[in-house]
Structure 1
Amino acid sequence: MSLSRRDMIAAGAALAALPAAARAVRPPNIILIVADDLGWGDLGCYGSPFIRTPHLDRLANAGVRMTDFYASANVCTPSRAGMLTGRYPIRTGLAHEVITVKDRHGLPLSEVTIAEALKPGYATMLAGKWHLGHAAPHWPPMVHGFDAFAGIPYSNDMRPLSFFRSRADGTLAEEPVVQERLTDQFFDAGIDFIRASAARPFFLMLTPSAPHIPLRPGKAFAGRSDAGSYGDVVEELDAAVGRLVAALKGAGLERDTLILFTSDNGPWFEGSAGPAQGRKGGAGWDGGYLVPLIASWPGTLRPRVTDAIAMNIDLLPTLCTLAGAPLPPVTLDGRDLSGVWRRGAASPHEQLILFNNERVAALRTPRWKFVGRSYYRSYNVPLAAIGYPLLFDVTRDPGETINLAARQPEVMADLSARFIAARDSFEPLGLRQVPDFLPSAS
């Protein structure tokens, strides 16, 4: 989406012409930025000693930073399905692995996305990676409530790969991909959308491919970070966020806009999971699920750091609440976080369920973490089923290193019962029932 100077002036004039009362009560603009494979510990505000992220740090310091925020899966496709629908991804049929180039399934049209839930009051756009189906009827993203799209259909390491832009008639223009330009292209498209939509509430979902491999920083950032090419692309992403914030200020929209920043799952081969054990795809360990969450809304959200447990499935109900939109008439697993963000309220969750593909892998409560599955070589080991479930007090042991199962029998009894209930409730919804294969005692 490319705007002329005349278009930008007209959009600004339309905003200025709104009555003051109308501007005061209009729902917030919403920008949701989702990094790809960014670790919990890869931002300065989350303790990175190597990667400089001054723009994201400023958003965190002026807004809400969540320390115990989880992705709804430890890999990308199911996590994004959970985030967009407010439902554990096993309900959508997308809990198993990620969509590959040869696959033809995707997010069902019966699912209600954030973009659809915010209609008709919001203009909507997706700029970045989709990865929820690249064949009809699941593609393009406009069939899921987005008015416009500029981005790639799946991960930037998959081939063939093209950059697509939606036209006014709903068709797509296709361009070759230059990896070093992708972050700028995504954010340029998003900034154009902001300027075009300034006169009405908008929802912009920005899903850059960074820092997923291949790591191809732009020329201005190559070799700049102490964290290698991985750090380079994260610092480039941070700079793009800075350009986005500057565009909001220039349009007079900064105080009318909620900016959210998170990641789709934990880090893969590089990057930091902070104090957590495990990485992307790593069964029940926190490192694959625990991600940053920054919420910035100047003049509305006061600076705070919260350890309330939450998950990306909470974004749909929270954004509906803030936008004054009704919740979709479906079973939602997410909960409204607006009280956590506005008042520092306790988590609305008694527990979070962590899935590994279509299996329940772990439970998280405000204090405890129950791990019922892990990997050993090629085995997906059902620890709970073989009599060796693990219990960690993650408020004192975030690295999940000290198993307290034998010392906390009452807690173990409670969480074991919850784990069985979650398993019995959700696992039958799976579409690919893979039997457990137990390694020999040797």
Structure 2
Amino acid sequence: MKIFITVLIALLGLYPFSTSLAQSTEKSKPNIIIIFTDDQGYGDLSSFGSPNIRTPHLDKMATEGQKWTNFYSAASVCTPSRAGLLTGRYPVRSGMASDVTRVLFPDSKGGLPDREITIAEQVKKAGYQTAMIGKWHLGHREQYLPTNHGFDTYYGIPYSNDMDATADKPSYWEYADEHIPIEYYNVPLMRNIEIIERPADQNTITRRYTQESISFIEENHDQPFFLFLAHSLPHIPLFVSEEFTGHSDAGLYGDVIEEIDHGVGQIIKKLKELEIEEQTLVIFTSDNGPWLVFRTHGGSAGQLRAGKGMTWEGGMRVPAIFWWPGTIKPEIVTDIGSSLDIFPTISHLVGGDLPDDRIIDGFNLTPVLMGEDDSPRNEMLFYRGATLYAARKDNFKAHFIIEGAYGQFEEKQVLETPLLFDLSEDPGEKYDVTDQHPEMLEEIREMVEKHKENLVEVKDQLAERE
């Protein structure tokens, strides 16, 4: 009897330890937060060179984590860029890039196909709670919404905030420096698959996205979670809350960025209050470059050439910050990275295998984040729609086709002799070095041909409209 009681006590004593060990093992998987802005340029954070926009919270993240200076979006416009981030695949592979129309619209019939695997679906297999908050733009019909692509919940505007424009809306140039009525854009605010507000009050949308994010974190902080916060701004038309009106030294655009930065600070504060900051990876980046045609409402690409819609550096090189206290080695990373790499990186961190039935174009960046190795990415392809316009290998970038966008820059030219730039010395792409480095041009051509051999034609998801 004494032996039985002794064993029983020992087993009971082990029970809390076993439970604690199981919880500890579960929490060893990091929480993941991706904060994705819309049309924010490379030069629109003070830590990335803005002289008049203050972003102290993002700057602190960049100091405490890693600031990537050669980081690329998957495309230079909204829909394909988001498809690339969530799947780790060039959007041409999923049919989410089109030469017919560049993005999805409220009358579009298509969306991200269910055969595609998203980051949310990857982490769900690892036991994560998932939420998508903000701009989706991968199909507004029910079968394409976030709740059918691995997200437990959705709260946001399903496409760009300048869509559903009303007939009485004045031209942009008539209200370029003023606040405008939200009724000019009849965009819906959705919760899961239901419209809960129309038109969405965009004056408060940034604040509400942040509040929803914090609520999700509070509700799920005791288990692994994945939050994809995709701000609708600073895509035009610009809206900002009363609290941040006139807050910046950079006009309305600066106010919008500073409100987003404030929201980032609120999220970081909540992580620290819950004592989970060392268990949480936060990634901040933008979907593409600035929409330059809108002047002071369009942001800046800094010293980079051109902006949104184009395959010049300003259209696809974006600010990127990785923050994970106690795990990420703080430094400025000048290696090449891409939003395509987020899918395999997160898959690795949560212990998930990459799909073996498809090509994944992203690379696992974990060795760089841990300070163990250089980036495995030494190349990047630049698509405009479903057509490859340019390609980068190491420090050299070749342009095979050049074309402006939205009435700015050059007419379309298919170049008989490609342009070649050494981005290590010339990130502004001003000085053609084709004659000095013909061998690099040949290497890039071979890389492009190898890539094209693995392309399979799929249905264009953007072309069909009502």
TM-score, reference length from structure 2: 0.84
What code does the residue aligned with 1:247 have?
A: K
Question: 1:38 and 1:23, CA in 2 relative to 1: closer, same or farther beyond 3 A?
Answer: same
Conserved 8 A contact 2:112-2:461: no
C-alpha change, 1:163 and 1:27, in structure 2 (3 Å) is same
Equivalent residue, structure 2, for 1:27:
29
Alignment correspondent of 1:403: 432
Question: Per-residue deviation at 1:418?
Answer: 2.6
State the partner residue of 2:9. none
Question: Which residue number corresponds to residue 179 of structure 2?
Answer: none
Letter of the structure 1 residue corresponding to residue 37 of structure 2: A
The one of 288, 306, 310 aligned to 2:333 = 306
CA RMSD of aligned residues (A): 2.1
Q: CA deviation at 1:423?
A: 4.7
User: Could you tell me which of 366, 371, 375 is aligned with 2:403?
Assistant: 375
Whether 2:146 is the aligned partner of 1:141: answer yes
1:183 matched to 2:211? The reply is no
Question: Is residue 110–residue 462 contact of structure 2 (8 Å, CA) maintained in 1?
Answer: no
* Amino acid corresponding to residue 436 of structure 2 in structure 1: R
In the other structure, the counterpart of 2:216 is 193
What's the offset of the Cα at 1:409? 1.7
237, 243, 257: which one aligns with 1:220: 243
Match of 1:346 among 365, 374, 382: 374
Code of the residue aligned with 1:349 in structure 2: it is: R
Query: Does the 8 A contact of 1:128 with 1:206 survive in 2?
Result: yes
In the TM superposition, residue 416 of structure 1 has moved relative to its aligned partner by 2.7
Tell me how far apart the structure 2 counterparts of residues 421 and 117 of structure 1 sit (CA, whole Å): 28
Q: Does 1:272 align with 2:300?
A: yes
Tell me the equivalent position of 1:321.
348
Quick check: 2:84–2:90 contact (8 Å CA) kept in 1? yes
For structure 2, list consecutive stretches of 5 or more residues without a partner in the other structure: 1-17, 165-185, 293-297
C-alpha distance in 1 between matches for 2:278 and 2:211: 21
Amino acid of the structure 2 residue aligned with 1:174? I
Name the amino acid aligned to 2:277: E
Residues 148-163 of structure 1: pairs in structure 2 closer than 5 A? 148-159=153-164, 160-163=186-189
2:417 maps to which residue? 388
Contact 1:360 1:427 in 2 (8 A): no
Q: What SS class does the counterpart of residue 346 from structure 1 fall into?
A: coil
SS at match of 2:217: helix
| CA shift for structure 1 position 422 | 3.6
State how far apart, in whole Å, the 1-side matches of 2:251 and 2:453 are.
45
Name the CA distance, whole Å, in 2 between partners of 1:184 and 1:281.
28
User: Retained in 2: the 8 A contact 1:360–1:422?
Assistant: no
Give me the TM-score of the superposition, normalised by structure 1: 0.88
1:337-387 deviations in Å (ceiling 9; x for gaps): 00111115222123111101111111112211111111166843222xxx1
Deviations 1:310-336 (A, max 9, x none): 111110100011111222233211110
Unmatched runs of 5 consecutive residues or more in structure 1: 1-16, 435-442
C-alpha distance 175-346 of structure 1, shift in aligned 2 (>3 A):
same
Conservation of the 8 A alpha-carbon contact between 1:358 and 1:432: no
How many equivalent residue pairs?
A: 410
Distance 2:283 2:430 in 1: 31
Instruction: Evaluate the alpha carbon distance shift between residue 132 and residue 433 of structure 1 in structure 2; reply closer, same or farther with a 3 A threshold.
Output: closer
Corresponding residue number in structure 1 for 2:171? none
Structure 1 runs of 4+ aligned residues shifted over 3 Å read 376-379, 419-434
CA deviation after TM superposition for structure 1 residue 271, in Å: 1.0
CA distance in 2: counterparts of 1:136 and 1:106, whole angstroms: 10
In the other structure, the counterpart of 2:172 is none
Contact 1:93 1:431 in 2 (8 A): yes
Could you tell me how far 1:22 is from its partner in structure 2? 3.3
Which of 196, 207, 212 is equivalent to 1:174? Answer: 196
2:133 is the alignment partner of 1:127: yes
Contact 2:93 2:456 in 1 (8 A): no
Q: Residues 188-244 of structure 1: CA distance to partner in whole angstroms, max 9, x if unpaired? A: 111111111111100000001111111111111111212211111000000001111
CA distance in 1, matches of 2:262, 2:277: 17
Q: In the aligned structure 1, how far is the partner of 2:132 from the partner of 2:352?
A: 19
3-state DSSP of counterpart to 1:372: strand
| Cα distance in structure 2, aligned partners of 1:278 and 1:424 | 30
1:382 partner SS: strand
Range with greater deviation from structure 2 (20-29 or 227-236)? 20-29
- 3-state DSSP of counterpart to 1:19: helix
- Post-superposition offset of 1:388: 2.5
SS at match of 2:318: strand
Compared with structure 1, are the counterparts of its residues 286 and 430 closer, same or farther at alpha carbon in structure 2 (3 Å cutoff)? Answer: farther
Identity of aligned residues (%): 42
> Hey, what does 1:336 align to over in structure 2?
364
Equivalent residues of 2:340, 2:361 under 8 A apart: yes
- Name the structure 2 match of 1:49: 51
Match of 2:322 in 1: 295
Task: Mark the CA change 1:432 to 1:303 in structure 2 (over 3 Å): closer, same or farther.
Answer: closer
Q: Return 80-89 or 153-162, whichever deviates more.
A: 153-162
**Over alpha carbons, which structure has the higher Rg?**
2
Question: Does the CA contact (< 8 Å) of 2:70 and 2:337 recur in 1?
Answer: yes
Match for residue 100 of structure 1?
105
* Aligned counterparts of 1:432 and 1:181: Cα–Cα separation in 2: 32
Distance in 2 (CA, whole Å) between partners of 1:142 and 1:80 is 16
